[in-house]
Every structure is written in C-alpha cells, then in structure tokens.
A and B are shown apart, each in its own frame.
Chain A
Amino acid sequence: MPFELKVNGELKILDVEPSSLLLSVLRDDLELSGPRFGCGVAQCGACTVLVDGQPIRSCVTPISALSGKEITTIEGLGNRESPHPLQTAFIEEQAAQCGFCSSGMIMSAASLLEKNPKPTDQDIKDALNANLCRCGTHTRILKAVKKASEDLS
C-alpha cells in the first residue's frame, strides 16, 4: 500500500506498511544515513529527527502518525555545500569523537535554537539531556551549540 511521507521538503511515495517505524523507512527505504540507530527504545536520541520542527525519536514512531507532516533529517538541515550553523560549529569546536550521537544532538539543538535563539548553558543542557553521548564530548557540544546560537543571531 503506497504511503506518502514528506521528508526534507520532498514528497516520497513509499511501498511500506503504515505501522513501519520512521527510522526504518528513513534508513532502509530512503537510504538516509543521518538518523542513527542506537537503542530502538527512545532512550539515546541518536535517531532524532524533526517533525514539524519538534524533535522526535524516529526509532519508536510509526509513520502512520506522520501523514502530512514535515519530516526533517540532518541531511535536510544542511550539507557540505550549504551547512547549517550548528554543523559548522560542531566542526569548528571539534565537538565529536565517534560522532554516533552527533546527528541526534544537532537535530535536538536545531529545534532548541528555533524556539530559543539565545539559550543559556542550562537551556542547552535541558534540551539535550535525553541525548546520550558515550565519548564524553558534552562540553564541546555545549560550546558548539552556544557558538551556533551566536552565529545565527
């Protein structure tokens, strides 16, 4: 049964079950690598994407809930030719080690900056508290988000 999904500004017609999880559809059907699989139970944040600007965990979200909504993955946020200020700041601050959490961190931060362009450190920590980083690059991520907020203003 064809299912329509709007991803990164493009309408995609997919031959998938409505019960399919968004992360599977993004990674396996649309061949996007940005949303990462970390836990499958909405505990780590590596799969975070935006739905109408709100960060959601794509690993537990069935696509049936997303009809007509705007889905943005990190690929839709920016790329090498046209990077989002957060992506530039993550490189500038070298805010990664293994980088497996980076996509999710950036998507959660992008949503924060939309709502709160001048976040305090505490605002950033609160917004990213459900995104796990195992390498311990939190302090760099904090700096990068701060830097991006300055660059955006």
Chain B
Amino acid sequence: MKKNIEISRRIFLQSVSALAIQVTIPDTSFSQANLPRSISDNPSLNLWLRINSDKTVSLSMGKAELGQGIRTSLAQIAAEELDIHFNRIKVQDLDTDHSPTEGRTTGSTSIERSGVAIRMASSEARHLLLENAAAKLSSPSGIIDIDELSVNDGQILINGNSSSLSYWDLLSSEDFNTKISGLISPKEPKNHSIVGSSQKRLDIPAKVFGEPAYVHDIRMPNMLHAKMVRPEIDSANLVSTQPKIVDEIEGVISVVQDGSFLAVVAEKEEQAVSAAEALRKVTIWEQFREIPSQDSFPNVLRELEALDPEVIFDNKSKSSSTKSDNDRELSADYSRPYIAHAALSPSAAVAMWDGNRLTVWSHTQGVFELKGAISTALAIEESKVRCIHVEGAGCYGHNGADDVALDAAMIAMRFERQPIKLIWSREDEFRREPYGSATSIKITAGLNPSNKISYWDYDHWTCTHSTRPSGGVGAANLHASIQKNNPLPNSARYSLQNRFNGGDRNAVALYDLPEHRVTRHFISENPLRVSALRGLGAHANVFAIESFMDELAKEADADPISFRIEHLKDYRAKAVLEEVKKLAESKKRLEIPENFGRGVGFARYKNTSTYFAVIIDLGVNLSTGVINVHRAFAAVDAGQIINPDGVTNQIEGGIIQATSWTLKESVKFSTSGIESTNWATYPILRFSEIPSVEVSLINRPDLASSGPSECAQGPTSAAIANAVANATELRIRDLPLTQEKIILNLNS
C-alpha cells in the first residue's frame, strides 16, 4: 500500500534526520523497580519521542487505535508535558520494528499504563531539552539555571521572557539516546491545559473523507486477493475437495490447501469470491465434535465438564456471622448467551513474504503477540516476522483480526514478493470469530429485619473469556494453526484449563457485604469458540449482581439507589449514584403511551477501574412485548479525565452497544453449525431503537486516570432489566430481553 510504504519511509527519514540533543543524563543510580512496566520494558527515550526538524515531535506508543481515540488522548498527555501545541505531535504507526512494546490494547488499561509511561517519557524529554537550553544560554558572565526556564509551544523562556532558543534549535548529533530515569516530576494537574480538554480525534478526518483508513484499503503493486473456504462450524475437518473446479474461473491463480485450511487466490477480489463460492460447493467437511443444542442453554452450562469449584473470595472468616433465623432469603439464577463482537466489517489482513521476512498488516489488538503467534504457527524465526497495525472496523475485543492475519500469512508464504490481501466473508466473520462466553450465575442472599444484606453467596459457571494468541502455546489460539498439516494441539481450543480467564471480573460485588462468598465453576469443555469481548466476565457478573440488588431492594421496599448507597462505603461509588440520580431527576418524567419503567445499574469496572452508574427510562408495550429504551442518564468517574469528549463518546457507545446486547443479541447455532451468519440472523440495534444518552463526567484531576471503554456494559444491561421489572413486574433473568421473551412471560 502506498500509504504504508510512505509511512515507513517517513519513519526512516525521521530517524536519520531527527534531532538530537546533547544532554546531561540524570543520575541513573536508582532502582528501576518503581518504573511502570511500559518504561522498564522500553527504557530508551528515543523509542518514545523524537524532535523533528519540521517543528513537530514524533510520539511512538505500543497501543493501537481501535476507534476508541486512544492515540489522541495519549498525544494530549505528551503535548501537555512537553508544553507544545497539540497539533505538533505526530503519532507514529504501531509497528513491531519500531514501536515500544506495551502489551495488547485491551482491558481499558491504555490510559492507565501507557498514559503514565508517556507522561514520564515526555516530562523527562522536556527536562533534558531544558538542561540543554540552560547550557547553551549560559555564558561566563551569567549562568542560567534550569529553574529559570519555561516553555511556550516549544519556545524556551527565561524568567517568562522569550529566549533565542526553541526545542528545534536544540539539535545536535545525539538524539534522545538515553534511558528514562523516572526521576523527573510531571506537571501538577492544576497546571494542565491540554489534558482535560476535548481535543478532536486524529483519526476521524480520514474516515469521514473516505480516504484509505483501514487494512481493507491497502493497495500494493502485484497484490493478489485471497478468500477462505470454510465449514459452518470451526470443529470440522476437510474430507475432500475438487480444486480443479476453479480452473475455468477467470483470474484464478491457485488453490491453497494445507490440511483443512483451504483458500483460493485470484488477481481480483471478485474473482476470488466466485472461486471460493464454487469451491465451497464441492468441498466436504466432517464435524469432529458435538456441541450441545442451543435449547439446552443456559442450564447445560452447569452440566458441562468443569474444574472443581473454587472459592475465590470469602470474607466470612474475617467477620462475625450476622446471619440469623429472622433473615429473609432470596435466590435467583441469571444468564447471558454467547454474544458476537460483530464488527461492522469482516476481519482483514495483508501479508507479504519477501523471501526473507514476512510483513503482516493487521488490525490486531496486539502486534507483538501476533508476531510471536505467527512465528510459532509458521515455524519461522520471530525476527523474520514484522507486524504493522492498520485500523479495522471496531472490534470491542478479540475478534477475527488475528486469525485472518495468519490466514493471509499462510497464503503469502507461497507467493514470494506478492502481497496477499484477504478480507473474510461476512459469514466467516460471524461463524469464526470467538464469541463472548455464555455464563450462568446463581446468587443467594439474606435480608435482615432492618433490610440490610446479611449474607451473599455467589456462584458463576463460565468458560474462559480469553483465548488470545501469543507466541508459543498461545499460537494454537489462531484459527488456522489447528487446521493446517502438522497442526498445533487443539486442546487449547476445546479443553481449557486456564482458570484465570476474565470470567471472575466483577464477580465480587463492590458492596459492603458481611458474609460474602464467591465460587467459580470454570467450564473446561468449550462448546463454541470464545474469547475476550468488551468487559469479559464483568458484563454477566454485573448484570446479575445489579439485577439482584434491585430484587433485594424491592423485597426491602426500598428505593433502589438508596438501597445501593446504604450498602456502599466507597465515596466515589456513592458519588456516581448520587450524580446520576440528580441528572435523571432534573428532567421531566417521560410521557409515553407504553408502560413506563425506570431502572438503575452501577459498577466500578474490575473493582479497580472506572466508576459508572446509569439510569434507563423505557417503555414496554404490553400487547406487543416491544421494549422502547427512550433515554439513558449516566455518571462516570474515571479519575483524571484526559479528553472529556473522548470519555463521553466511549460511554455513549458503551450504553448503546449494551442496549443492543441486552435487547437483541444471542449467537444462534445448531448442533452442527453457526446459524448467525449476517445482520438478519444476528440483528443489532438500529437508529429507530436508540435511546438519547446524557453523560455527566466527574473529573478528579488528582486521581489516576482509568479507561472508560468497558465500564458501561454490565450496568446498562442490568438497568434495562430493572426498568422492565419496574414497568411490568416481570423479572427477566436470562439475556437477551427479546420481544418474544417478554410476550411469553406476560402470558405465563
């Protein structure tokens, strides 16, 4: 692709021309133990920042743009610490040959981790530049102390007055070739002006002008197009096919078969589509394992092969029992189905083997992990694989991005110096992506005579929530790695032992509960392929906990928000609930023809990250069973806010996507295939169904920032279920809350 070649060239030119600054290196006789991981793994300052002769600063980071705006927010942090205008920051491509290694872009941790690292690197760079300036501005007649210097958009000021120097004059033959000490204090939050302001996203213009912005848009000389031929379910082997069938199709170059991996390659994409379709019709597959019928869910989740139950949280030992015979006991079972990431575009990748090295352009969330996984799967040295991140459609977790990268790589290895572009079909995207895990939950709790919770027993049954690929054994998590000849062991796919899997996320309620026990039932048998979906286990866990809190509040005849606040100690938790209540109550009550219902949901994501509370106003039409979600109010505390509009955008999107999950979404399957293959068989929320969303941000400049992108999922699902219960007296505990389910329950 022209764009990437240019980018590579640009990076190269920047590296050779970039500047260079003579510096006195701070005392490095410190312990590295306190440095954040991103810095200790990438200690060299020039891995992060370069001062360019065109009066810009290049910023490299290990985090990927997924449409969440992370690269804009991180650029704000750098501009803030460097005291330069935001538009002077040039964010560099994420490329395993050049970028710092910061792990995957997952779990709402980018601001928490990369943000801290970039702040540290940038404040250190500023300090080094100022030391250099002080040395240059000093003369035998007057020594300038660094404390006398400040910076205004890169211009060096002496005691507030302009000097002859700017960052761009402080060039010499050295660049930031020094280790980050971590000893330079960043700015006080009260002095921030770029951090805390709503900067426009760097990635949006290309998207609204229809420019090349995605992997799908890569075009390169000699590029060929590939398409996969795949069965209806991932657990099937190829029995026979007839490659000759495509011989007559114009433009077809070849059929690539490697075990059960089957693809066609053609000059043009539409030729590859026709050939794949023809080949599909004459290819026979044999399913090698049974999957339970969808009708048996969610109950079957408690019958599948599981590890021994494990108590993962138990505070009984610490508190004296408050359980008494006068307690009223409530118990309820909740579930969520398999949910698809359902990216708007099928996954895609471009791969090219030049005879010595393989380059892969991918919308993966982890370029370094993908590089390792491809190296293992193809049995080539890791140094021979390079992965470059290029955006895809929003993924919301681990979808087909990594799989298609290996697919393209396997094909590219057969075509020296001919780039292979592979865009999956819509069907394959739905059938092959690893879904968010189905989950079953049971909660039993007691209410004492003063309507306080006296005990809380929580059990959850779920498969893993993370089968992300990586080098070594994790390479088996790439779809094609178990299909090819000499497959990697498929046990990692179908019999999972990794109990630390994200299913426990938010399984421990944040409420102050006197006897609180949480038991994990880790399902090792894996009926459908699953992995990380926005929030992982937090979605089902918070849905269950927050639904049950409402049931308890009702039993206690208490206001649901007051009931929650009475069971919370954490002031930030109480504050988001009070704020959302204030916001909703400041608005007129909705006048709607349907039965009105209001519901609340709350969680602190992961119990360590962003605080979030939401109130949903909806109507339920009792004759049709249709739920109209009219409006949502939300309050968010993500610590220090970097980009307020960015946070709001993530919250609005989270609420609307979670509304879609809650009302509509469940992957359909039979015992022999995935039946959700397009938007008709996997419907999502449309414009006619969206609520209005109003978000209130609680900024806490002196507290660490946390990511906001996943906090809304569980609370929103619960708030909708709670609002439906409020509107109809119907308590629906199995997601999704479909029209059919409402009607069925209304009639029973």
Task: Give A contacts to B, CB under 8 Å.
Answer: 20-21, 24, 27-28, 31-41, 43-44, 46, 73-75, 78-80, 83, 87, 90-91, 94, 96-103, 106, 124-126, 128-140, 142
A46 and B345 contacting across the interface, CB-CB below 8 Å? yes
Residue B693 at the chain A interface, CB threshold 8 Å:
yes
Q: Is B126 part of the contact surface with A, judged by Cβ < 8 Å?
A: no
**Bound Cα distance A112, B347 (Å):** 31
Among the listed stretches B79-87, B90-98, B677-685, which one makes contact with chain A, having 4 or more residues with CB under 8 Å of it?
A: B677-685
CB<8 Å pairs between A and B, sample of 18: A24-B268, A36-B216, A37-B345, A37-B423, A39-B679, A41-B678, A43-B678, A74-B209, A90-B204, A94-B649, A96-B67, A99-B67, A128-B687, A129-B686, A136-B657, A137-B649, A139-B690, A140-B652
A125 CB contact (under 8 Å) in B214, B269, B342, B688 = B688
Residues from chain A with a CB closer than 8 A to the CB of B212 are: 33
- Quick check: is B614 within 8 A (CB to CB) of the other chain? no
B657 engages A134 (CB within 8 Å): yes
CA distance A133 to B68 in the complex (A): 14
Q: Inside 8 A of B657's CB, which chain A residues have their CB?
A: 134-136
Q: Which residues of B contact A31 (CB under 8 A)?
A: 219
Of all chain A residues, which has the CB nearest B268?
A28
Chain B positions within 8 Å of A91 at CB level? 200, 204-205, 208
Given contacts A139-B656, A139-B693, contact A79 B214 (CB under 8 A): no
- In chain B, what residue has the closest Cβ to A74? B210
Task: Say which size band chain B's interface belongs to.
Answer: 35 or more
> Bound state CA distance, A81 and B343, in angstroms?
31
User: Given the complex of chains A and B, what is the CA–CA distance between A73 and B209 in angstroms?
Assistant: 10
Bound complex: CA A75 to CA B423 (Å)? 22
Q: Within 8 Å CB of A99, what residues of B?
A: 67, 203-204, 206-208, 213
Does B444 reach chain A (CB closer than 8 Å)? no
Q: Report the separation of the CA atoms of residues A78 and B425 in the bound assembly, to the nearest whole angstrom.
A: 30
The digit string for B661-681, where 1 denotes a CB below 8 A from any CB of A, is 000000000000000001110
A98 touches B394 (CB 8 A): yes
- Evaluate contact between A80 and B205: CB separation under 8 angstroms: yes
Flag whether B27 is at the interface (Cβ < 8 A). Answer: no
User: Which residues of chain A are near B343, meaning CB under 8 Å?
Assistant: 98, 100, 134
Chain B CB within 10 A, most for which of A44, A46, A73, A98: A98
Chain A min CB distance to B294 (Å):
22
B270 within 8 A of A: yes
The answer to whether A35 touches B210 (Cβ under 8 A) is yes
Q: Tell me which of B68, B205, B650 has the highest count of chain A C-beta atoms within 10 A of its own C-beta.
A: B205
CB of B688 within 8 A of CB of A100, answer no
List residues of chain A with CB within 8 A of the CB of B68: 97
With A35-B210, A100-B345 as contacts: A41 and B660 at CB distance below 8 Å: no
Q: From residue A72, how far is it (CB to closest CB) to chain B in Å?
A: 11
* Among B67, B198, B679, B688, contact of A44 (Cβ-Cβ < 8 Å): B679
Q: Using Cβ atoms and an 8 Å threshold, which residues of chain B touch A94?
A: 198, 200-201, 204, 645, 649
Per-residue contact bits, chain B 638-658, to A (CB 8 Å; 1 contact, 0 not): 000000010001101111110
The answer to whether the Cβ of B211 comes within 8 Å of any Cβ in the partner chain is yes
Apart from A40-B426, A97-B68, A135-B657: 16 A-B pairs, beta carbons within 8 A: A24-B270, A38-B346, A43-B678, A75-B209, A75-B210, A79-B209, A94-B645, A96-B207, A97-B69, A99-B206, A100-B207, A100-B394, A134-B344, A134-B394, A134-B684, A136-B653
**A124–B686 alpha-carbon span in the complex (Å):** 12
Q: How far is the CA of A134 from the CA of B430 in the complex (A)?
A: 14
Find the A residue at minimum CB distance from B395: A98
Residue ID in chain A nearest B394 by CB atoms: A98
Least CB distance from A33 to B in Å reads 4
Q: Are B693 and A37 in contact (CB under 8 A)?
A: no
A24 contacts across to B, CB distance below 8 A: 268-270
Residue in A38, A124, A136 whose beta carbon sits within 8 Å of that of B656 in the complex: A136
A128 to B269, CA, bound (A): 29
Instruction: Determine the distance from Cα of A135 to Cα of B650 in the docked complex, in whole angstroms.
Output: 9
Cβ contact within 8 Å between A90 and B208: yes
Are B210 and A21 in contact, CB atoms less than 8 angstroms apart? no
Tell me how far the C-beta of A14 lies from the nearest C-beta in chain B, rounded to whole angstroms.
12
Residues of A within 8 A of B69 (CB): 97
Contacts of B653 in A (CB 8 A): 97, 135-137
A92 and B656 CA atoms in complex are apart in Å by: 21
Q: Is B393 on the interface with A (CB-CB < 8 A)? A: yes
Chain B residues with CB under 8 Å of A36's CB are 214, 216, 345
Cα A98 to Cα B170 in complex, Å, equals 38
Could you say which residues of chain A place their CB within 8 Å of the CB of B169?
Answer: none
Contact call B207/A102, Cβ cutoff below 8 A: yes
A39 to B425, CA, bound (A): 8
CA distance A119 to B685 in the complex (A): 22
Q: Known: A134-B343, A134-B657. Is A33-B213 also a contact (CB below 8 A)?
A: yes
Q: Which residues of A contact B687 (CB under 8 A)?
A: 124-126, 128-129, 131, 138, 142
Residues in B432-451 with C-beta less than 8 Å from chain A: none
Say yes or no: A96 contacts B204, CB within 8 Å.
yes
Which residue in chain B gives the minimum CB-CB distance to A90? B208
Query: In chain B, residues 367-396, which have Cβ atoms closer than 8 Å to a Cβ of chain A?
Result: 391-394, 396
Provide the residues of chain B in CB contact with A83, threshold 8 Å. Answer: 209
Shortest B211–chain A CB gap in Å is 6
The answer to whether residues A102 and B208 also contact, given A28-B270, A44-B679, A125-B687 and a CB cut-off of 8 A, is yes
- Give A20 to B269 CA distance when docked, in angstroms: 11
Nearest CB of B to A66, in Å = 16
- For B207, the chain A residues whose CB sits under 8 A away are 96, 98-100, 102-103
Q: Which of B211, B423, B426, B652 contacts A33 (CB 8 A)?
A: B211
Given A21-B270, A132-B679, check contact A32 B393 (CB 8 Å).
no
The smallest C-beta distance from A43 to any residue of chain B, in angstroms, reads 4
Mask of B386-409 contacts with A, CB within 8 angstroms, 1/0: 000001111010000000000000
Q: Which residue of B lies closest to A141 (CB)?
A: B687
The verdict on B193 contacting chain A, using a C-beta distance below 8 Å, is: no
B217 at the interface (CB under 8 A from A): yes
User: Closest residue of chain B to A32, judged by CB?
Assistant: B210
- Interface assignment of B128: CB less than 8 Å from any CB of chain A: no
Alpha-carbon distance A20/B393, docked complex (angstroms): 25
Tell me the nearest residue of chain A to B692, going by C-beta: A139
In the complex, what distance in Å separates the CA atom of A16 from the CA atom of B693?
A: 47
**B279 close to A (CB within 8 Å):** no
**Who on chain A is nearest to B691 by CB?**
A139
Q: Is B66 an interface residue (CB 8 A)?
A: yes
What chain B residues lie within 8 Å of A137 (beta carbons)?
649, 652-653, 656
On whether the beta carbons of B210 and A43 are closer than 8 Å, the reply is: no
| Bound Cα distance from A140 to B201, whole angstroms | 14
Q: Are B684 and A132 in contact (CB under 8 A)?
A: yes
Complex CA–CA separation, A20 to B268 (angstroms):
11
CB-defined contacts of B219 to chain A, threshold 8 Å? 31
- The smallest beta-carbon distance between B520 and chain A, in angstroms, is 31
